[in-house]
Amino acid sequence: MTIGLPIQEILTGLSIGSRLFLVALGLSLIFGVLGVLNFAHGAFYMVGAYATASIVGAVGGNFWVAAVGAALTVGLLGAVVEFGLIRRIYDRDELDQLILTFALVLIISDLTRTIWGSGTQTVETPAAFAGNVPVLGVSFPAYRLFVIVVAFLAMGVFWYVLTRTYVGQLVRATSSDRDMAALLGVDVPRLYTGVFAVGSVLAGLGGALTTPIQSFTPALGDQVIINAFVVVVIG
């Protein structure tokens, strides 16, 4: 028992950290490439959770379809926000970015309360991961272990894309010198929209994967964004 307790705590910490990692990965991607402090990233995370709950009900309880649909929905929302608002402040002070993205937090939170209400919502754990599995001598929820695996897979995929593919070269080149990349023929506005959308997809996926683990309210985004910023700053 004395041996099992640290393992249980480590796995629980990894489960919580994995959800934060998905959010922080998108936040770091947007800031690293676009140079935008996206305070609304937590609101996108929250929208991902609510979209999952709605889609689950619409597709007969299929969580996997709902999670993918919610992530893509948030990605589309991110693309619209970048195209309509964010791209107008790239060359402005960071304070203007914070003001705009904080305004988005307030708008999205109020819209969420209008559409879904302020009550607590939950989503059932997928049947395939409803039980516990033995891990290093302790019994651990299978779904939480699945979330950890997803986070490591996301880390591997993004490392490969950014370091081993042509798209990754474009992203890194634009991040280093936007003007030079544009002179060499890179469609910087389109690339920025794509990066912002991908970062938003990660936020939406993080929110979707959270729904079977904890209940959520419109305050969910406020709870996660501070922790995500801490992860990015420490990283």
pTM assigned to the model: 0.91
For the chain, give the percent of residues with pLDDT over 90: 57
199 and 77 Cβ atoms separated by less than 8 Å? no
pLDDT digits (tens, 9 = 90+) for 217-227: 998 888 888 88
Predicted local confidence at residue 5, as pLDDT: 60
Instruction: State the chain's maximal CA–CA distance in angstroms.
Output: 63
pLDDT in tens, 77-117: 999 999 999 988 887 887 888 899 999 999 999 999 999 99
**What's the rounded mean pLDDT across residues 184-190?**
91
Residue 1 has pLDDT above 50, yes or no: no
> How far apart are alpha carbons 98 and 37 in whole angstroms?
6
Q: What six digits make up the tokens of 98?
A: 């914070």
Average pLDDT, the chain: 90
Residue 37 reports pLDDT greater than 90: no
Which pair of structure tokens corresponds to residue 102?
């904080």
Lowest mean pLDDT among 6-20, 42-56, 202-216: 6-20
Q: What is the pLDDT of residue 29?
A: 92
pLDDT above 60 for 210: yes
What residues have CB less than 8 Å from 36, skipping those under 6 apart?
30, 86, 89, 90, 97, 101, 196
Read off the pLDDT of each residue in 7-13 and give the average, rounded to a whole number.
85
Q: Indicate the pLDDT class of residue 64, thresholds 50, 70 and 90.
A: very high
Higher pLDDT, 9 or 154: 154
Task: Dump pLDDT digits (tens) for 118-129.
Answer: 889 989 999 889
**What's the pLDDT score for residue 149?**
94
Q: What pLDDT was estimated at residue 2?
A: 47
Closest CA to 204 of 9, 34, 25, 82: 25
Structure confidence at residue 135 (pLDDT): 84
- Range from 104-113, 125-134, 146-155 carrying the lowest mean pLDDT: 125-134
Residues 6+ apart with CB under 8 A from 68: none
